């Protein structure tokens, strides 16, 4: 090809590119010349914005999901792969293959990587609490197992996983300690011990107590007591995770507000760790139709969901000084655990991105809250 025709081709290419660019500019005028509109940039200086990831997203199977995560979020939590049953399925057997992929995914973009969770009564194999004949183990044996688990798991990711949900869901609705095998076999000090083991394994990691429905007064008071006692005993707890599995009418903005204020008042950081909003009826609400929106969310509900998200983020923004991170429990609606809980096989709409990964009106509403926030 002569240099002249090459030049001509280049020129035509440039014209074509310009035409495409102008075309795009007509369709999406707001995108031209501006940074992409992302959650992580919108809330920069306020708090991190995270998402819980499933295996498909960080293993490379769900490339669209992974791209959305990288674009929108700067913190990640593993939805399941660091739970006891995943990482420590049998006595003496640790399996870190999948968890390693999760951590590597976050490290590539310098994300804040969260570990979830070290001590829980669910997704923990039965053998943990039993001897080889199936009888409950002694306090000393269970403490030794707890220590080995935490040292091994936290130690493996020392300096890489930056915050751990050390104890998950230890409280009853009335604020008393839940009678899990951890409590009945070890006694009330199992929480303090878990935090000590985690701190020893990674002194720089942030350590959280994580639970749901702490916005309800009795449970909140129990959690406040717990945190107070741990801190008074010099236990290194840095934050409280409010899971944030919300409904359209619960918690109220006032409940959310006072809960954040109450924990921040104790001198701990507050994280919103598992945010979603369930728009479907609960089976115990005597609803006759349990899966009312199998083919899409009606506009009125879509709008109400957007407003509800705006309401919650307005509260988070107001307390940005005390909130370290807001993490969604999932990325797009199709990924959400709420399609399977508390009723299997429903179609739920709890997140900011729809099943095709497109931003929903709720996304716009949340971005609107960031845009109105005072300059940071
Ligand atoms: C859920 C996961 O999303 C599901 O995939 C799994 O089947 C069960 O656990 N509180 C927690 C999370 O702390 O670990 C739970 O995650 C949701 C409730």
Whether the predicted pLDDT of 196 surpasses 50: yes
Whether the predicted pLDDT of 188 surpasses 80: yes
- Region 56-68: mean pLDDT is 97
Cis peptide before 99 (omega within 30 of 0): no
Whether the predicted pLDDT of 231 surpasses 60: yes
Ligand 1 probe mutation, 57, 116, 341, most atoms within 8 A of CB: 341
Q: Which string of b and e fits 133-145 if b means at least 16 CB within 10 Å?
A: eeeebeeebbbeb
Whether the predicted pLDDT of 312 surpasses 50: yes
The pLDDT assigned to 35 comes to 56
The pLDDT assigned to 15 comes to 40
Whether the predicted pLDDT of 23 surpasses 90: no
Minimum CA distance residue for ligand 1 atom 12: 79
Q: What does pTM read for this prediction?
A: 0.91
Minimum CA distance residue for ligand 1 atom 13: 168
Are the C-beta atoms of 86 and 98 separated by less than 8 Å? yes
Q: How far is the CA of 80 from the centre of ligand 1 (A)?
A: 7
Q: How far is the CA of 329 from the centre of ligand 1 (A)?
A: 8
Residue 36: pLDDT band by 50, 70, 90 thresholds?
A: low
Minimum CA distance residue for ligand 1 atom 4: 337
User: Which domains are seen in the chain, by residue range?
Assistant: 39-371 (3.20.20.80)
The pLDDT assigned to 16 comes to 42
Strands 75-78 and 206-211: unpaired
Whether the predicted pLDDT of 30 surpasses 60: no
Whether the predicted pLDDT of 280 surpasses 70: yes
Instruction: Report helix, strand or coil for 84.
Output: helix
Minimum CA distance residue for ligand 1 atom 15: 79
Q: How far is the CA of 310 from the centre of ligand 1 (A)?
A: 25
Are the C-beta atoms of 195 and 207 separated by less than 8 Å? yes
- Region 157-186: mean pLDDT is 98
Q: Give the number of residues written for the chain.
A: 376
Active site residues: 169, 274
- Region 196-222: mean pLDDT is 98
User: Does residue 85 line the site of ligand 1, with CB under 6 A?
Assistant: no
Instruction: Give the bridge partners for 112, in sequence order.
Output: 75
User: Does residue 215 line the site of ligand 1, with CB under 6 A?
Assistant: no
Q: How far is the CA of 327 from the centre of ligand 1 (A)?
A: 14
Whether the predicted pLDDT of 286 surpasses 80: no
Q: How far is the CA of 52 from the centre of ligand 1 (A)?
A: 10
- Region 207-216: mean pLDDT is 98
The pLDDT assigned to 287 comes to 72
Residue 17: pLDDT band by 50, 70, 90 thresholds?
A: very low
User: Does residue 335 line the site of ligand 1, with CB under 6 A?
Assistant: no
- Burial status of residue 318 (CB atoms within 10 A of its CB: 0-12, 13-18, 19 or more): middle
Residue 171: pLDDT band by 50, 70, 90 thresholds?
A: very high
Are the C-beta atoms of 260 and 315 separated by less than 8 Å? yes
Ligand 1 probe mutation, 85, 329, 338, most atoms within 8 A of CB: 329
Q: How far is the CA of 86 from the centre of ligand 1 (A)?
A: 13
Residue 13: pLDDT band by 50, 70, 90 thresholds?
A: very low
User: 122: which 2 tokens?
Assistant: 């669910």
Residue 29: pLDDT band by 50, 70, 90 thresholds?
A: very low
User: 344: which 2 tokens?
Assistant: 């299997």
User: Does residue 337 line the site of ligand 1, with CB under 6 A?
Assistant: yes
Atom in ligand 1 nearest the alpha carbon of residue 165: 13
- Region 309-332: mean pLDDT is 98
User: Does residue 168 line the site of ligand 1, with CB under 6 A?
Assistant: yes
Calculate the alpha carbon distances from 136 to 86, 132, 182 in Å.
Answer: 22, 10, 11
Q: How many helices (H) does the chain have, and how many strands (E)?
A: 13, 9
* Secondary structure E strands in 16-95: 48-53, 75-78
Q: Determine the Cα–Cα distance for residues 169 and 340; give it in Å rounded to an integer.
A: 20
The pLDDT assigned to 376 comes to 74
Sign of the CA dihedral running 169, 174, 176, 178 = negative
């Amino acid at each position: 090809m002569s240099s002249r025709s090459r030049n001509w081709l280049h020129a035509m290419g440039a014209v074509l590119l310009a035409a495409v660019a102008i075309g795009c500019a007509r369709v999406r005028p707001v995108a031209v010349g501006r940074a992409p509109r992302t959650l992580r940039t919108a809330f920069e200086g306020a708090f991190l914005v995270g998402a819980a990831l499933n295996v498909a997203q960080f293993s490379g199977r769900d490339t669209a999901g992974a791209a959305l995560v990288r674009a929108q979020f700067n913190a990640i939590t593993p939805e399941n792969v660091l739970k006891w049953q995943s990482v420590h399925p049998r006595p003496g057997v640790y399996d870190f293959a999948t968890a390693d992929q999760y951590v590597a995914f976050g490290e590539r973009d310098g994300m804040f990587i969260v570990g979830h969770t070290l001590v829980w009564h669910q997704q923990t194999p039965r053998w943990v609490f039993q001897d080889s004949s199936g009888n409950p183990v002694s306090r000393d044996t269970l403490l030794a197992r707890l220590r080995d688990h935490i040292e091994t798991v936290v130690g493996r990711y020392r300096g890489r996983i930056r915050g751990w949900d050390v104890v998950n869901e230890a409280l009853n609705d009335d604020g008393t300690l839940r009678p899990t095998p951890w409590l009945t076999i070890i006694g009330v000090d199992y929480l303090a011990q878990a935090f000590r083991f985690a701190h020893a394994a990674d002194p720089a990691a942030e350590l959280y107590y994580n639970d749901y429905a702490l916005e309800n007064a009795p449970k909140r008071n129990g959690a406040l007591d717990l945190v107070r006692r741990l801190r008074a005993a010099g236990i290194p707890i840095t934050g409280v995770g409010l899971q944030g599995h919300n409904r359209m009418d619960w918690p109220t903005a006032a409940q959310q507000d006072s809960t954040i204020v109450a924990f921040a008042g104790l001198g701990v950081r507050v994280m919103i760790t598992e945010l979603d909003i369930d728009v479907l009826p609960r089976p115990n609400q005597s609803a006759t139709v349990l899966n009312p929106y199998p083919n899409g969310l009606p506009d009125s509900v879509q709008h109400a969901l957007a407003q509800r998200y705006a309401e919650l983020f307005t509260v988070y923004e107001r307390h940005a000084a005390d909130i370290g991170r807001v993490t969604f429990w999932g990325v797009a609606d199709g990924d959400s655990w709420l399609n399977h809980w508390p009723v299997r096989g429903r179609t739920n709409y709890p997140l900011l991105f729809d099943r095709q990964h497109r931003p929903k009106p709720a996304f716009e509403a949340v971005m609107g809250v960031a845009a109105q926030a005072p300059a940071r």
